[in-house]
Amino acid sequence: MDVLDLAVLEGEFLSLLGPSGCGKTTTLNLIAGFVEPTAGRILIDGEDVTGRPAHLRGLGVVFQSYALFPHLSVFENVAFGLRERRVSSAEMNRKVVEALALVRLEGRERQRPTELVRRHAAARGPGPRPGLPTPRAAARRAAGRAGPKAP
């Protein structure tokens, strides 16, 4: 990879598309902190995290294999990263509820992952992120950028 200048705004989801070998996985590994760049910097919220280890970057990562724990409920899987970061119980509950609402899994907290794999894994990604917006805030932002309504 030669040069990449990428900005993702709060509340946005990003998809990287391209042919095999074009740098999609390398880009994600650089951002997450699994690989060190040979040049340049990685900024998250304006802060240089280039030398910061992956576990201290405050990012959630969802791999293609999902890495879900089959013996834990949906709630417990989504909360896993937050527990590891020793987030308070009240804050953890709030963030898990927000993440599950974001992927429309409200009311399914007690089910096992084998019943809900895809959306459940997607909720796990943003779970640990400190600035996760509420679904209502995300909807307001999206509505503001949606453009004019059709007649």
3-state SS of the chain is CCCCCCCCCCCCCCCCCCCCCCCHHHHHHHHHCCCCCCCCCCEECCEECCCCCHHHCCCCCCCCCCCCCCCCCHHHHHHHHHHHCCCCHHHHHHHHHHHHHHCCCCCCCCCCHHHCHHHHHHHHCCCCCCCCCCHHHHHHHHHHHCCCCCC
The type of residue at 50 is T
pLDDT at 150 over 60: no
What are the pLDDT digits (tens) for 94-124? 999 998 998 888 898 998 887 765 655 666 6
pLDDT at 136 over 90: no
Per-residue pLDDT, 146:
45
Per-residue pLDDT, 140:
55
The type of residue at 52 is R
CA dist list (Å): 44 to 38, 56, 75, 85, 148: 18, 12, 27, 18, 32
Per-residue pLDDT, 89:
94
Higher pLDDT, 101 or 125: 101
Greatest mean pLDDT among 26-30, 53-57, 90-94: 90-94
pLDDT band for position 132 (cuts 50, 70, 90):
very low
Q: Where are the domains of the chain?
A: 1-58, 74-139
Q: Which CATH class is domain 1-58?
A: alpha beta
Give yes or no for a contact between 48 and 40, defined as CB atoms under 8 angstroms apart. no
Name 43's bridge partners. 48
Per-residue pLDDT, 96:
93
What are the pLDDT digits (tens) for 35-84? 999 999 999 888 999 999 988 888 877 766 667 788 899 999 889 888 88
Whether the full predicted model's pTM is greater than 0.85, yes or no, is no
